[in-house]
Structure 1
């Protein structure tokens, strides 16, 4: 409970402003909310706010290694939340907990990565057809929902919380940027200054990581497949090159693409002795671990969250956090302050879905602009910052084509 208290002290938007209103209005009264999220102290703040709004919540993990066990226990013991999550779950255990949430027939689905959305549609289509709506926390999950919408199989309206400006511009950039570096340093205790750090992907996550690494004195290389993002990285002052070339130079490699096999056999074959591999994307497929397993002649855990793979020629490659999210497995995930905005979007999007039940088509929606702006206003309020407002004359000027 003390960890949750610490998080909530730094999450005034979710844990104070929204929760106080939810306690009074009960906008989620008797609503079953099924959630698959990283079970951390910050997630506890969101869950407790949903409960304050009248919701019944079932919570499962969105990663087998990210659960903070003491937080899961506290939610179950003190808040009456049903939780199916523990650190070190097997893959079968992980998906059994997701099925446990799906079979409960939730009204609202809150997901982080898309596994709950996908499980509902693949294994429980009748249940999916009765879901009022869902939300999605991550880039990876939004990609999966967008594919489902394109194929015409999405059974309920879903809100891309990840794409809210108050989420992706802050959580993805500042949150992942800081917490990824935190995870790498906790796992390895290496000095970043002077190291060549290769960042795969220059979306908001990649931008954050690259800038934080540079701020600690690293020499940063960016790899990209998108010409616009690659050009942006160049203009931001980073070296940009194909992964095959970067693989020969890098000391530390960090994947942040949302795709699979970003680092694979041909890249590992040319890496330096002692190269460190870390993943900041949602799933453990960006660094293709099966290739490492096949190539290695020996393997050992040399430090917590650091596995050494020795190759036939004697070179050693170090994989962090088993290729899973290094910021959550080797550290504590995003700082509470940035998750405050992300989870504010989750809470308000859940409320929006309940209020608009039956009015939305089964497709992917952006977070309503008014919700996004409300989160920003509340965060500024929490920071004690005031901003200007347009005068009526200014509003008229901006809405007219007349000179």
Structure 2
């Protein structure tokens, strides 16, 4: 199936008024800022977005449509798209090329479609849209980037427009990265596998803020947690948090669950995957769906055990992969997502795009820049006080 602009009601169950009201109620910060933005006159502008398409995406993009912006949307990940959210956005006029479970070719086609026309602002998760737009010679007024993976990919590139890095702001690092991913990872794991963590040996590869939250949550649920990281300071930090530490090879040989949380591609490649224990379950919570070398796994006999769960036969060992190596906390269709947790960060995206479109970032130099602190402070104040 070729990626395409979705027609209205392309799938059953497009969201009704009551469900939309509930989404708005659970995202009060974004909804409040969005109501003010919707009264603006931004006609004639175009925004191109490559991001996870979930319920909170509705709260981010609807105000721009109401303000007259042409919005074009494609997914940054083949396995996190909520089809009903995508269908609703298409029904209000967003140009959408997305569906759950898109193939790699379809994902590439959707990116090429986004880059086929210039835009005034870009909203990216993973850096691919920004890099492709720069390579195509486009000169938007600015862009947003949300992920460690994206910043890695943009490093060293000559980007001829400002890119607002909101991955590195304190609010995201201290709240979402450090806590929210961990809170959502293990319910997703259990929903997919039917397994609890009690007594299981869990290895967390990468002990940045995301890995820290994942490790804490696993330990709270009864797992024995081992941390692998190249930074010795982080290993000391992990020890102080009650985790064991180990070198990669030793950790993989005994782990029953292995979680990658680095933001880099190829963390578990052929050499590492050849060392994992019988029955090991592979999970990724980093943005890149290539932290685990799924292409190498796919060269081996495999069986789809249940939704989001595949078994591979590796030289007589059974190894299990969750959600095709994509972020397990955003696996589509599990019903565990919590838009409330992402509410302040949806607001960060909304205010950042508004700032770009309204000329507030016109004086920024080209390349990656820190997301404006006054905008972060507005969201943080709303989060702290409960009033936007």
Structure 1-normalised TM-score? Answer: 0.87
Which residue of structure 2 aligns with residue 49 of structure 1?
63
Which residue of structure 2 aligns with residue 112 of structure 1?
125
Distance 1:333 1:132, change over 3 A: farther
Distance 1:145 1:174, change over 3 A: same
CA RMSD of the aligned region, Å?
A: 1.9
1:165 aligns with one of 165, 170, 192 = 170
Q: Secondary structure at 1:214's aligned position in 2? A: helix
1:365 aligns with one of 365, 369, 374 = 369
Distance 1:172 1:340 in 2: 14
Q: Does structure 1 residue 300 correspond to structure 2 residue 303?
A: yes
Question: Alpha-carbon deviations, 1:20-79, whole Å to 9, x = none?
Answer: 22133x1644321110111111111111133344422111111112111111111111x2
8 A contact 1:4–1:45 mirrored in 2: no
Q: Does structure 1 residue 33 correspond to structure 2 residue 47?
A: yes
Shift of 1:292: 2.8
8 A contact 2:38–2:64 mirrored in 1: no
Q: Secondary structure at 1:147's aligned position in 2? A: coil
Question: Alpha-carbon deviations, 1:287-310, whole Å to 9, x = none?
Answer: 12233344x4x3111111111112
Which residue of structure 1 aligns with residue 36 of structure 2?
21
Which residue of structure 2 aligns with residue 240 of structure 1?
245
Shift of 1:283: 1.8
Distance 1:50 1:332, change over 3 A: farther
Which residue of structure 2 aligns with residue 146 of structure 1?
155
8 A contact 1:306–1:320 mirrored in 2: yes
Distance 2:41 2:173 in 1: 26
1:183 aligns with one of 181, 188, 207 = 188
2:27 aligns with one of 3, 7, 11 = 11
Shift of 1:249: 1.6
Structural mapping, 1:327-346, within 5 Å: 327-329=329-331, 331=334, 335-346=338-349
Structure 2-normalised TM-score? Answer: 0.90
Q: Does structure 1 residue 382 correspond to structure 2 residue 386?
A: yes
Distance 1:27 1:164, change over 3 A: farther
Distance 1:68 1:341, change over 3 A: same
Higher relative helix content: 1
Q: Which structure would you say has the larger Rg?
A: 1
Distance 1:93 1:293 in 2: 18
Distance 1:228 1:53, change over 3 A: farther
8 A contact 1:32–1:55 mirrored in 2: yes
Q: Does structure 1 residue 254 correspond to structure 2 residue 270?
A: no
Unaligned residue ranges in structure 2 (runs of 5+): 1-14
Name the count of aligned residue pairs: 370
Distance 2:162 2:384 in 1: 30
Q: Does structure 1 residue 227 correspond to structure 2 residue 232?
A: yes
Unaligned residue ranges in structure 1 (runs of 5+): 385-403
Moved more, 49-58 or 172-181: 49-58
1:315 aligns with one of 298, 314, 317 = 317
Which residue of structure 1 aligns with residue 9 of structure 2?
none
Moved more, 96-105 or 35-44: 96-105
